[in-house]
Amino acid sequence: MIKKLLKYAFLFLVLAFIYTPILVLVIFSFTDTIIIGTWNGFSFNLYKKLFADSDIMKIVRDTIFLAVGAGAISTILGTMGAIGIFYSKKRTAATLNTLGNIPIINAEIVTALALALMFAMVLTFANKTILSLIIGHVVISVPYVVLSVLPKLKQMDANTYEAALDLGATPIKALFTVVIPEILPGILSGFMLALTLSLDDYIVTAFTKPDTFDTISTYVYNAVKVPTHSSLPALRALSSIIFLVIIIAVVVMNLKSKNKENR
Amino acid sequence: MRALKISRKHLGYPYALFLILFVLLPLIIIVYYAFTDSDGHFSILNFVNIFSDITALAAILTSLSVAILTTAVCLLIGYPVAYILARSRLKFAPTLLILFITPMWINFVLRMNALKEFFSLVGLLDKNPLLTTVIGMVYDFLPFMILPLYTTLSKLNNSMIEASYDLGANKVTTFLKVTLPLSMPGVISGITMVFMPTMTNYVVSEILGRGQITILGKLIENYFMHSNWNMGAALSTLLLAVMLIFTWATGGFNDQQNGNARGALL
């Protein structure tokens, strides 16, 4: 019993370390203060300021558009890639897997500099444009899509595709009516991963983005470095919204999948 | 039949082309720039410069200190957490695991800002940049240590552990001689995912160390800002080499645990 309590106490301590800064930020998003620690009474002023700040609102929109766009491209490219790898010869598949693993294992700064250098020196027409930014985000997320789709292909019953062909379906039709529905969970989780990686990214974004374009990451990074930046209190409100949305989404999604497993 | 099989294989071509163009080619270009001078002639001077430049040497030393400290602390916190969650049959273990991993899905610049504000509230900011950076790195990378450890520990073969008890070993001996060695793949995977990023993730050291300490990632960014491509490329090539050796030594190209760690929750 005591042992069990000690275990819970230890876990609780680590969780407190993880969640205290988040909680403090959320609490101080409900008071109109520049510095955390001074309480100027409960108010939604920072939230009002946030939604009235057209710069930040534009950045939030751009960040989401970029994530959805790059995520969609990664998902399509990665799903096709996974199918291709699955039906390729062993050596081709191994080569593609090794190449795809590089952005996962490589230090992000190396990926970022390598891309920036190539755009600056070779593909100059796309240097520091939306195109280079999207390509950068696809590079860091597409391998994860492949990794989420491949296991689903391995679990699939290989005969159903052949059966569809025997029954007269064209290869394209068989692909869309038989293969895609089977691997859809993998495709969806790949898309979610790509979305998160894009929303989370700072380094590749900073190295490939146009000078006038900002994502939440780059904007906050630059704002935080200036201690007197006027947007900091409003960013507290933005952070609080993002923290709560994600914590709730992750918990709900996991509880849902737990229920499914139990049934 | 044969023609149809080829058509499925063809679906992989765009992906292959993409990898060659935007993963392989940039790395080749980086290695090329690392071994040439500003006139485009072959030279190893960039590497000589790195190892004779006091700023670069200091950055290497700082990065190693930060990475070793962070990895050690992550292991010291993450192993017991993963062990308790995976092996103690606590009622709320699955829910608790989710709580430990959730921060991974939140934008890390925002989390670092939250930590910075917290440090400033408790008066830790600007005191010791190395300490605040290491705490920030642990804060950021702890889930990446817990997840592979949890996966390995929860798949552990129970009969081995029972056999150890049956043969008279006590709890400590069983842990040291059976559980720990069996969980080494998780330990190695966790170290891989924490050590390398910690050496280069300069966002953490810039926000929490207030730019007072320079790690390798920041140094590369400085070269990039000043368009000093050759030096940036040389330093990146070194990191690339370290990564390749490390991955080869731990067999990381074969197992896909690295990628699965992030996807494990979905």
Q: Where are the domains of chain B?
A: 54-229+237-263
In this predicted structure, the answer to whether residue B9 has a pLDDT above a threshold of 80 is: no
The verdict on a CB contact (< 8 Å) between B252 and A114 is no
**Res B3 pLDDT > 60:** no
Q: B3-24 as b/e, with b when 16 or more CB fall inside 10 Å?
A: eeeeebbebbeebbebbeebbe
State the Cα–Cα distance between residues A231 and A203, nearest whole angstrom: 22
Average pLDDT across chain B, whole number: 87
Closest CA to A31 of A41, A19, A22: A41
Could you tell me how far CA A72 lies from the centroid of its own chain? Answer: 12
- Identify the closest residue of chain B to A104 by CA–CA distance: B259
pLDDT reported for residue A263: 53
Tell me, yes or no, if A169 comes closer than 8 A to chain B by beta carbon: no
Name the A residues in 53-112 with CB < 8 Å from any B CB. Answer: 77-78, 80-81, 83-85, 87-88, 92, 96-111
Would the CB atoms of A84 and B11 count as touching at under 8 Å?
A: yes
In contact, B137 and A247? CB cutoff 8 Å: no
Contacts of B199 in chain A (CB under 8 A): 107
Mutate to test the interface with B, among A109, A137, A170, A255 (most CBs of B within 10 A): A109
Confidence of residue A229 (pLDDT cuts 50, 70, 90): confident
How much of chain A exceeds pLDDT 70, in percent? 98
Please state, in angstroms and rounded to a whole number, the distance separating the CA atoms of residues A247 and A19: 11
Query: Which of B33, B100, B253 is nearest residue A117 as measured by Cβ atoms?
Result: B33
Best mutation site among B22, B89, B218, B221 for testing chain A: the one with the most A CBs within 10 Å?
A: B22
Nearest to B254 by CA among B189, B183, B182, B196: B189
pLDDT at A123 over 60: yes
Q: Is the pLDDT of residue A7 over 80?
A: yes
Inter-chain residue contact B236 with A113, CB threshold 8 Å: yes
Give per-residue pLDDT as tens, B57-109.
999 999 999 999 999 999 999 999 999 999 888 888 888 888 898 888 889 99
B234-240: average pLDDT: 94
Q: Which CATH number does A60-225 carry?
A: 1.10.3720.10
Express each pLDDT in A35-92 by its tens digit.
Answer: 787 888 888 989 999 999 999 999 999 999 999 999 999 999 999 999 999 988 888 8
Cβ <8 Å between A83 and B11: yes
Confidence (pLDDT) at A129: 92
Where does the pLDDT of residue B174 fall: very low under 50, low under 70, confident under 90, or very high at 90 and above?
Answer: confident
The one-letter amino acid at A3: K
* B241 inside 8 A of chain A by CB: no
Could you tell me how far CA A54 lies from the centroid of its own chain? Answer: 24
What backbone torsions phi and psi does residue A144 show, to the nearest 5 degrees? -70, -35
Domain boundaries, chain A: 60-225, 228-263
B25: chain A residues, CB-CB within 8 Å: 118, 122
For an interface test with A, which of B2, B4, B18, B240 has the most A Cβ atoms less than 10 Å from its Cβ? Answer: B18
| Contact with chain B for residue A41, Cβ under 8 A | no
pLDDT of residue B260: 47
Residue B6 in this model has a pLDDT that exceeds 70: no
CB A219 within 8 A of CB A59: yes
Whether residue A250 contacts residue A189, with contact meaning beta carbons closer than 8 Å, is answered with: no
Higher pLDDT, B193 or A15: A15
User: Span B164-179, mean pLDDT?
Assistant: 86
Residue B80 contacts A where some CB pair is shorter than 8 Å:
yes
Q: Is B15 in contact with A80 (Cβ distance < 8 A)?
A: yes
**Cα diameter, chain B:** 71
Longest C-alpha distance within chain A, in Å?
73
Per-residue pLDDT at A150 exceeds 50:
yes
Contacts of B26 (CB under 8 A, 6+ apart): A111, A114, A115, A117, A118
Which member of A139, A221, A246 has the closest CB to residue B22?
A139
What pLDDT, on the 0 to 100 scale, is given for residue B165?
Answer: 85
Tell me if ipTM is over 0.85. Answer: yes
3-state secondary structure of B89: coil
Q: Which of B192-206, B210-224, B246-260 has the lowest mean pLDDT?
A: B246-260
What percentage of chain B carries pLDDT values higher than 90?
50
Q: Where are the alpha helices (DSSP H) in chain B?
A: 2-10, 13-19, 25-34, 45-52, 54-87, 93-101, 108-122, 129-154, 158-166, 171-174, 180-182, 184-200, 202-208, 216-225, 229-250, 257-263
CATH of region B54-229+237-263, choose from 1.10.3720.10, 3.30.70.270, 1.10.645.10, 1.10.3210.10: 1.10.3720.10
Answer whether B243 sits within 8 Å of A225, measured CB to CB.
no
For residue A14, is pLDDT > 90? yes
Count residue pairs from A and B with Cβ separation < 8 A. Answer: 273
**What whole-number distance in Å separates Cα of residue B164 and Cα of residue B158?**
10
User: What was the pLDDT predicted at B7?
Assistant: 67
Mean pLDDT for the stretch of residues B189-198: 89
| A133 has a pLDDT exceeding 70 | yes
pLDDT recorded at residue B66: 95
End-to-end CA distance of chain B: 36
